Amino acid sequence: MKFWIALRNFASTLFHQPGNDSDLEQELKSHIETRAEELENTGLPRDEAVRRAHIEFGRYERFKEECRQERGGTWFETLRQDLRYGLRMFRRSITFTAVAVFTLSLGIGASTAIFSVVQGVILSPLSYRDPDRLVMVWLRNPKAHYISMSLPDFEEWRRQDAGFQQMSGVRWYHFNLTNPGTPEHVAAYEISAGFFNMLGANLHLGREFLPEEDRPGGARVAIINDHLWKNRFSASPQAIGKAITLDGVDYTIVGVLPANFRFLDDIEVYIPLEQGDPMFNDRRFPGVLCIARLKPGVSISQAQSRISAVQQNLNNQFPDTDHGLSTDVVPLKPLIIGDVKGMLLLIMGAVGIVLLITCANIASLLLARSTMRAQEFALRAALGASNGRLVRQLVTESLLLAMGGGMLGVAVAKLGLHLLLTMGIGNLPRSENIGLNGPVLLFTLIITIIVGILFALGPAFKSLAFNLQSTLKQGSRGNTSAFQYAQKTLVVLQMALTLVLLVSAGLLFRTIHDLQAVNPGFDSESLITFKVGISPAATRTAAAEQAAYHQFMERIRSIAGVQSADITNLVPLSRLNNLAPFWVGSQAATPVAEAPRLLLYWTGPDYLRTMKIPLLQGRFFTPEDNANSAHVIVIDSALAHAYFSNTNPIGQIVNINLWGEAQIIGVAGHIKHSGLGDSAGSNQPQAYAPLQQLPENAARTFYRTLSVVVRSPLKPADIIPAIKAAVYNAGNDQPVYEVRTMQEIVSDSMASQRLPMTLLGAFATLALVLATVGIYGVISYSMAQRVQEIGVRMALGAGKWAIFRMVLVQGLRLALTGIVIGAAVALVFTRAISSFSRLLYGVGTGDPVTFLSVSFVLVSVALLACYIPARRAMQTDPMIALRRE
């Protein structure tokens, strides 16, 4: 009931505002008039009657104001007053306003930019229909590692109802795209019919694959993405029905995807799953990822148990390939987000700290200002303003300041996002969702309001605690000691938080430094790698492909400046794998699923020399180790240590799955294949086998994914054009792609540390600047308050340098307190972060070198900030100081 009354009052005020005020006047005036008439009737003269009536009425203005207040809905009116007043105050002290708004905008802007990244990558829902019902069905091998599945198994899963509304398989592949346009190598997905429908993604043009196309021998159809459509078909609607040539075969385009579609990667071409290379349609070859949509009402665990049963049957039916396999059903989102959660949370924490520091800075400024305004508030209170009114004024002013900072902050955030893009944010998964969208702007609004209200609280409490009379008498000195304490606390807080940021940045810096010093096992300098798309004409048989490679390798080797070159299926640190089950000895002693795996490199004879991997024992391959001679293999030191620790491995036999027996002819050094900091991979056995001895059926597929490595002391800009020319001369429809220097690959492998390090470094610098300004402000102000005391000290005999020291000591004490507190917080913070993500390498979370050097930096900065106030203090003339009020 009360609510409706208040609402009605409010509405009536908004709508009848001017009328109400004149009505009020009229009511009160007519009361006085009536009384005056009555008095006149008793015989008093008119003037006397009116005067008497006014006196009897009482303080007219005050009662009128009280009536206005009681009316309710004057909230709106007082807001307007507060706003006008606040703006006037800000215009008067424009420097303060500018500094405060600018600092705030930095803090709010940085937080908004980072939050938009977190929101885009992690928080926002997947852009598919009902994304919570989408799951990924994984297969797990006996060691519980997640693996993809074979096509026959997938088909079996689909045939048996497993509680899924729809299942789709996705397999990665790649093609040489030769028509229309220039030859290029493209990544492709082989997908089941109905895949896009399952996701809930609509095609921009055309249609999905039909079930009759999704079978071996079905019509050759393809769906392309927006990028390819714009590049090669000029975004023409007539693209449907045209053909693209993939690996020499024409595929008819039936559909075009919309511009914002992305599934796991920016894939340009999609073809039906069952039309993939038949060699892989064997139960022994994994590669198919299974994405599914749950039936309504079915939970993940229910689906889990049903698909488990299906797989169990398959395990029993096909013990050779499917023994010991299990399944796991997981929501789709984490798969797409990948591994970046830890790093993003670290950055979010860091920017939160920056925001806190800017708030502390501004709160300090506001406190200083509020002390000067104490007189003003005391006066207003004496004139009748209620406490509530004064607090409301303060809150309005703070919110005004905060809003200014917030709006400028949005502009800062936009700038910040541009900067982040140059730092590689675009490589994060789901980065297409990052932007200043609705939820992000709401976040900005919320923190702006919170910040605004927080700022009002401090000065508000201070103002209300003032004793009215003593304040009016004292002038602007006010309650100095409490104020000083608050300011000092803020500075200590700033120092502590800055230390946390500096330590985090420092730890990451040392990590990258240590990682760069790690020996990867090969010489990464002067190495270039690239891939070549062999012309379709040469890919008919393995022998033809070998010949094609042989041809351009000869040309490459004859280029001046090339020291050595060769081909390999795997480039270290490139995140690709080729794990082959193996057995020591000639028999396959255990089932495939349980056999240990080695990382198998298929290379040419010059590979070891090109990479400068040390040969520890025996020999590497020669051109004589070819298809007609016995299988040979070179193992690495890890394999030798694990399986041949007591014997000489040279001459021993190992059995590689799908290849057969091979004799060990040499031992090479171990390589850091999966990451410079990856200690788990240091026991991963590795081995090298001659490309020439690849079995015929595998050769065709392997040859399509080969990388060429070239060692040359020349600069990449000089050597690469020569390489391209050599390859094109051997066949002008052979694109050279993925050209990278080994240094770039090594550096990219540290990207997950480099981005946070850069950001943290930037934040830490910003924090350092703010903290310096903070200390300077506090010390200056404190010294200004203590001018008399300094005068007394000097008069009593203290020397100039003693005063100078006194100021520095005060600043030092603040800094050290902040450092101690900050160190404690930093220890907890870094430990929390490193438990989240494996970002650190070579340094512990409590690394003393980092902590000490950072503390040293903070102390120096604090001393620097105190220098000017100290000099000013030491130059005080005691005579003038003592005479000061």
* Of 44 and 827, CB closest to other proteins: 44
Quick one: which of 44, 51, 57, 174 contacts other proteins (CB under 8 A)? 57
**Which residue, 23 or 48, has its beta carbon nearer to other proteins?**
23
Rounded Cα gap, residues 407 and 413, in angstroms: 10
Determine how many CB atoms are found less than 10 A away from the CB of residue 455. Answer: 25
Nearer to other proteins, 17 or 629 (CB): 17
User: Measured at the alpha carbon of residue 220, what is the angle toward residues 217 and 224, in degrees to the nearest 5?
Assistant: 145
For residue 59, the minimal CB distance to other proteins (Å) is: 7
Shortest Cβ distance from residue 15 to other proteins (Å)? 16
Instruction: Select 6 or 11, whichever has its Cβ closest to other proteins.
Output: 6
Structure tokens at 377: 């508030």
- Torsion sign across C-alpha atoms 46, 49, 54, 55: positive
- For the segment 822-861, give every residue that binds other proteins (CB under 8 A): none
Q: What mask of x and - would describe binding to other proteins in positions 776 to 815, judged by CB under 8 A? A: ----------------------------------------
The full DSSP string for 640-708 is: HHHH-SSS--TT-EEEETTTEEEEEEEEE-----S-TT-SGGGG--EEEEEGGGS-HHHHHHHHHT-EE
Please select the residue that binds other proteins; options are 7, 14, 27, 143, rule is CB under 8 A: 27
3-state helix, strand, coil in the chain (%, to 5): 60, 15, 25
Pick between residue 9 and residue 701 the one whose CB is nearest to other proteins: 9
Closer Cβ to other proteins, 56 or 525, answer by number: 56
Q: Using the rule CB under 8 A, which residue among 35, 220, 323, 641 binds other proteins?
A: 35
Distance (Å, whole) CA 19 – CA 71: 13
Minimum CB distance to other proteins, residue 469 (Å): 25
Residue from 15, 48, 60, 871 in contact with other proteins (CB under 8 A):
60
Rounded distance, CA 374 to CA 453, Å? 19
Size of the site for other proteins (CB under 8 A): 28
Only segment of 34-42, 272-280, 527-535, 843-851 that touches other proteins (CB under 8 A): 34-42
Q: How far is the CB of 4 from other proteins (least distance, A)?
A: 9
- In angstroms, give the least distance from the CB of 392 to other proteins: 18
Concatenating the DSSP letter of every residue in 90-141 gives: HHHTHHHHHHHHHHHHHHHHHHHHHHHHHIIIIISPPSSSSGGGEEEEEEE-
Residue 735 has φ and ψ, to the nearest 5°, of -70, 140
Taking CB under 8 A as the criterion, the residue among 7, 15, 23, 125 binding other proteins is: 23
- Give the phi and the psi of residue 183 in degrees, each rounded to 5: -60, 140
With CB under 8 A as the contact rule, the residue among 56, 554, 718, 738 that binds other proteins is 56
Nearest distance in Å: CB 67, other proteins: 5
- To other proteins, the closest distance from the beta carbon of 834 in angstroms equals 60
CB 53 within 8 A of CB 36: yes
The binding track of 285-324 with respect to other proteins, each residue x by CB under 8 A or -, is ----------------------------------------
25 is an interface residue for other proteins by CB under 8 A = no
Cα-to-chain-centroid distance, residue 194: 33
Is 26 an interacting residue with respect to other proteins (CB under 8 A)?
A: yes
Q: Which is nearer to other proteins, 31 or 550 (by Cβ)?
A: 31
Among 28, 147, 722, 812, binds other proteins (CB under 8 A): 28
Please tell me whether residue 187 adopts helix, strand or coil conformation: strand
Distance between CA 121 and CA 124 in Å, rounded? 7
Residue (of 709, 691, 678, 677) closest to 613 by Cα position: 709
Q: Which is nearer to other proteins, 27 or 718 (CB)?
A: 27
**Considering just the CA atoms, what is the radius of gyration of the chain in Å?**
38
List, in order, residues 6 or more apart from 266 with CB less than 8 Å away. 225, 227
**Backbone angles phi and psi of 413, in degrees to 5:** -65, -40
User: Comparing C-alpha atoms, which of 40, 37, 17 is closest to residue 29?
Assistant: 37
Whichever of 3 and 438 has its CB closer to other proteins, that residue is 3
What is the rounded distance in angstroms from the CA atom of residue 549 to the CA atom of residue 566? Answer: 10
Length of the chain: 885
User: Could you give the maximum distance between any two Cα atoms of the chain, in Å?
Assistant: 141
Contact 481, 416 (CB under 8 A): no
Residue with Cβ nearer other proteins (25 or 789): 25
Q: Which of residues 707-746 bind other proteins (CB under 8 A)?
A: none
| Residue 644: CB atoms within 10 Å | 17
Q: Binding to other proteins by residue 867, rule CB under 8 A?
A: no
Segment interacting with other proteins, rule: CB under 8 A, options 51-59, 78-86, 128-136, 645-653: 51-59
d(CA 417, CA 409): 12
Which residue lies nearer to other proteins by CB, 23 or 161?
23
Is position 31 an interface residue for other proteins (rule: CB under 8 A)? yes
The contacts of residue 354 (CB under 8 Å, 6+ apart) are 106, 107, 110, 111, 501, 763, 766, 767
Residue among 63 and 85 whose Cβ is closer to other proteins:
63
* Minimum CB distance to other proteins, residue 53 (Å): 9
Site for other proteins in 509-568 (CB under 8 A): none
Nearer to other proteins, 78 or 780 (CB): 78
Question: By rule CB under 8 A, what string of x and - marks binding of each residue 628-667 to other proteins?
Answer: ----------------------------------------
First to last CA, the chain: 58
Query: Which one among 18, 43, 58, 848 touches other proteins, defined by CB under 8 A?
Result: 58
Q: Does residue 37 belong to the site contacting other proteins (CB under 8 A)?
A: yes
- Would you say 59 or 84 has its CB closer to other proteins? 59
Joined together, the tokens standing for residue 112 give: 């908004």
CA 777 to chain centre: 35
**Three-state SS string across 449-485, please?**
HHHHHHHHHHHHHHHHHCCHHHHHHHCCCCCHHHHHH
Nearest Cα to Cα of residue 453 among 561, 571, 576, 359: 359
Q: Which of residues 61-120 bind other proteins (CB under 8 A)?
A: 62-63, 66-67, 69-72
Q: Give the shortest CB-389-to-other proteins separation in angstroms.
A: 16
Using rule CB under 8 A, residue 236 touches other proteins: no
CB of 384 to other proteins, least distance (A): 13
Q: What is the identity of the amino acid at 9? A: N
Closer CB to other proteins, residue 2 or residue 80? 2
Distance in Å, CB of 78 to other proteins, minimum = 15
- Closest approach of Cβ 40 to other proteins, in Å? 13
**Beta carbons within 10 angstroms of residue 447's beta carbon:** 21
Whose Cβ is closer to other proteins: residue 10's or residue 867's? 10
Enter the DSSP assignment of 284.
Answer: T
69/622 with CB nearer other proteins: 69
**What region, left, alpha or beta, does residue 308 occupy, with left being phi > 0 and alpha being psi -120 to 50 degrees?**
alpha
Q: Tell me, residue by residue from 379 to 398, as one string, x for binding to other proteins by CB under 8 A and - for no binding.
A: --------------------
Q: Per CB under 8 A, does 59 bind other proteins? A: yes
Residue 26 CB, shortest distance to other proteins, in Å, is 7
Q: Which lies closer to other proteins via its Cβ, residue 35 or residue 700?
A: 35
Chain residues binding other proteins by CB under 8 A are 1-2, 5-6, 9, 23, 26-28, 30-31, 33-35, 37, 56-60, 62-63, 66-67, 69-72
